Amino acid sequence: MIGLSLEGKVAIVTGASGGLGRAICLKLAEAGCAGVVVGYRSNEGRAEAVAAEVRERGADALTVSADVGDEEAVQGLVAAARERFGRIDILVNNAGSCPIGTFDDTPVEDLDLAYRSILRSTFLCTKHVVPVMREGGDGRIVNVSSTSGVTGGTMGPAYGPVKAAVVAMTKYSAKTLTKDGIRVNCVAPGYIDTEMYYEANPDLDVRARRIADIPLGRIAQPEEVADVVLYLVSDLSGYVVGETVLVAGGRTT
Ligand SMILES: NC(=O)c1ccc[n+]([C@@H]2O[C@H](COP(=O)([O-])OP(=O)(O)OC[C@H]3O[C@@H](n4cnc5c(N)ncnc54)[C@H](O)[C@@H]3O)[C@@H](O)[C@H]2O)c1
């Protein structure tokens, strides 16, 4: 039996009403998770639809609304997960906003938005989930960065630098939490076929130029990134610790 099974595990996925979050939830359910917590900020309809798809795949699902940049909301998310399932084995820090622009037209508030939705949320969710993982003696955390976090990117001065901090947060977390049986890694996708990509790249010529830059000649489907997340939370990656895996169709090579 290949060690991809997540039989009996309970997972929290943040930003799970979005494109990549949904794909990750479904992948975790297909891999045998007993419970998937669909964390979302405000789109209840979409979160409930994701939960229904999770249930169709045989896992229990719980939707929890939480702004993951807010500590009390994160504490509520973790408490709700624990109350329903009694344990948390997997955390995917996926939520994030992508402010676009240049230094000339990016207000400092955009940097605050990226920081709050991406880095502060990763810090808070990790901080509050880890004690529950420690009780269970086993944990796997995957942080979602971006190729922008490795190369600096082209989205603007607010996004890539904050995504770079997620890579450092992954390394710090791995160095300090592995001894507790908690394995932390990071995935850094290139362009993914989700709302974020189309909102950040409304111009068709820009999209064409971006695709021309990708050796595979296309952007990623969310499921292709979710496959790598599944690998990182499974036993197949048991000796992979603190790494950032680029999923970019060759664009960064
Ligand atoms: N789409 C891409 O091209 C791309 C590329 C690289 C990395 N990423 C990263 O992948 C992750 C998922 O993005 P996506 O492509 O699915 O986009 P998306 O816009 O569909 O999903 C992002 C989700 O994050 C949620 N979110 C944002 N701030 C939040 C907060 N404070 N609290 C709770 N939820 C919050 C949004 O509500 C949304 O549901 C993000 O971290 C993004 O930066 C995306």
Give the Cα separation of 224 and 7 in Å (integer): 21
Do 117 and 63 touch, CB atoms closer than 8 A?
no
Residues 190-208: what's their mean pLDDT?
94
In-domain check, residue 194: no
Total domains, the chain: 1
Residues 163-186: what's their mean pLDDT?
98
Instruction: Report whether residue 18 contacts ligand 1, using a CB cutoff of 6 Å.
Output: yes
**222 pLDDT more than 80:** yes
Residues 219-238: what's their mean pLDDT?
98
In-domain check, residue 193: no
Residues 46-56: what's their mean pLDDT?
98
Residues 124-131: what's their mean pLDDT?
98
In-domain check, residue 60: yes
In-domain check, residue 180: yes
In-domain check, residue 16: yes
CATH number at 74 reads: 3.40.50.720
In-domain check, residue 98: yes
Residue nearest to atom 27 of ligand 1 (CA): 96
Give the pLDDT band (50/70/90) at residue 39: very high
Domain that holds residue 130: 10-188+225-246
Q: What is the mean pLDDT of the chain?
A: 97
Residues 98-122: what's their mean pLDDT?
97
Instruction: Report whether residue 157 contacts ligand 1, using a CB cutoff of 6 Å.
Output: no
Residues 113-139: what's their mean pLDDT?
97
Give me the active site residues, please.
146, 159, 163
Residue 2 has a pLDDT of: 79
Residue 3 has a pLDDT of: 82
Distance from CA of residue 45 to its chain's centroid? 20
In-domain check, residue 165: yes
Residues 158-165: what's their mean pLDDT?
98
Residue 1 has a pLDDT of: 66
Pocket test for ligand 1, best of 65, 194, 197, 199 (most atoms within 8 A of CB): 194
Residues 209-215: what's their mean pLDDT?
95
Burial 133-159 (b: 16+ CB within 10 A, else e): beeeeebbbbbbbbbbbbbebbbbbbb
Share of the chain above pLDDT 90, in %: 96
Task: Select from 152, 146, 234 the least CA-distant residue to 187.
Answer: 146
The pTM for the full model equals: 0.98
In-domain check, residue 219: no
**120 pLDDT more than 70:** yes
